[in-house]
Amino acid sequence: MEKQSAKGWLYLLPAILFLGVFMVYPLIDVFIYSFEEGYNSASQTYYGVGLYNYSYVLRDPYFLQALKNTFILVIVTVPLSTGFALLISVALSSIRPLRNLYQTIYFLPYVTNTLAVGLVFMILFKKTPYSDGLANLVISWFGGEAIDFIDGPYWAKMFVLCLYTIWVVMPFKILILTSALASVDETYYNAARVDGTSKWRTFIRITLPMISPTVFYLIITGFIGAFKAYSDAVALFGTDLNAAGMNTIVGYVYDMLYGNSGGYPSYASAAAIILFTVVLTITCVNLLVSKKHVHYS
């Protein structure tokens, strides 16, 4: 047993080393940073312990802007993308010909570089002196006024960010929902057909309850993912998100750490911990709500 024990730990050693240095230690350290006041990264000194970093972050207008942006993004994209993915998946499950082709196409955004495709969205929506861009061309067909979606009004920028986020997260949701729909037992549908139940009623009474754990899983992961949004915004509006007024909470953390406004790991740590308190709270609320409404077989 002693020899076996040593061998087991030996096999685990590389994993433990990596996880210890780059995960466990940083996790403890981030809490320490967040309470050290006046930390100086050059001399690695600080002059006090307390909650100042938190109160600084919570009063920083850039953080409040980032908080607002992130909340809007979450509230708009999570329900829309989940609902729309459900619609597409149900439609996809009801056909046979071309199904594989559609599935392959729908998955493409998952394997593309977020930064790269974001640039395409940027040029589609950007208004330059040379051209109003394609999005504005479509708007003009319907008699609308040209808007700069990239450097223009806040709502327009938010619209593009939400649209791009939905475009990026749809593949995952469609994939998970179609496999959940495929695993619903056929006998339920056959029974419903014998009883002459309408399609809509079958969907509400059978399909939806059967896949509700999956839908719920997607809502939770969707919330967590949207709260951590960052690179989509960088792709559309560039790295100086504070200037564009389009920063997200994660973006605020990184900006505090690095770049022109960087060098403040204490503020970054406090902001990161605030973010995860929010995410944890919302996940717990979701779990409580789901106990009432989700059908676990």
Rounded Cα distance, 222 and 169, in Å: 8
Rounded Cα distance, 217 and 16, in Å: 30
Question: Judging by beta carbons within 10 Å of its beta carbon (0-12, 13-18, 19+), is residue 278 exposed, middle or buried?
Answer: middle
Cβ atoms of residues 97 and 103 within 8 Å: no
Residue with tokens 């475009």: 167
Minimum distance, C-beta of residue 47 to other proteins, in the bound complex (Å): 19
In the complex with other proteins, which residue's Cβ is closer, 145 or 292? 145
Rounded Cα distance, 43 and 22, in Å: 23
Residue with tokens 């994660």: 250
Question: Tokens standing for 157?
Answer: 């920028």
Minimum distance, C-beta of residue 113 to other proteins, in the bound complex (Å): 5
In the complex with other proteins, which residue's Cβ is closer, 119 or 191? 119
In the complex with other proteins, which residue's Cβ is closer, 33 or 62? 33
Rounded Cα distance, 64 and 38, in Å: 21
Minimum distance, C-beta of residue 165 to other proteins, in the bound complex (Å): 8
Handedness of CA 240, 243, 245, 250 (dihedral sign): positive
Minimum distance, C-beta of residue 182 to other proteins, in the bound complex (Å): 10
The string of DSSP codes covering 91-149 is HHHT--TTHHHHHHHHHGGGGS-HHHHHHHHHHHH---SS---HHHHHHHHTTPPP--T
The span from the first CA to the last CA of the chain, in angstroms, equals: 42
Cβ atoms of residues 227 and 235 within 8 Å: no
Minimum distance, C-beta of residue 158 to other proteins, in the bound complex (Å): 18
- Determine the 3-state secondary structure of 37 from DSSP: strand
Minimum distance, C-beta of residue 134 to other proteins, in the bound complex (Å): 5
In the complex with other proteins, which residue's Cβ is closer, 75 or 119? 119
In the complex with other proteins, which residue's Cβ is closer, 179 or 187? 179
In the complex with other proteins, which residue's Cβ is closer, 101 or 187? 101
In the complex with other proteins, which residue's Cβ is closer, 52 or 107? 107
Minimum distance, C-beta of residue 270 to other proteins, in the bound complex (Å): 10
Minimum distance, C-beta of residue 91 to other proteins, in the bound complex (Å): 5
In the complex with other proteins, which residue's Cβ is closer, 100 or 187? 100
Rounded Cα distance, 147 and 244, in Å: 16
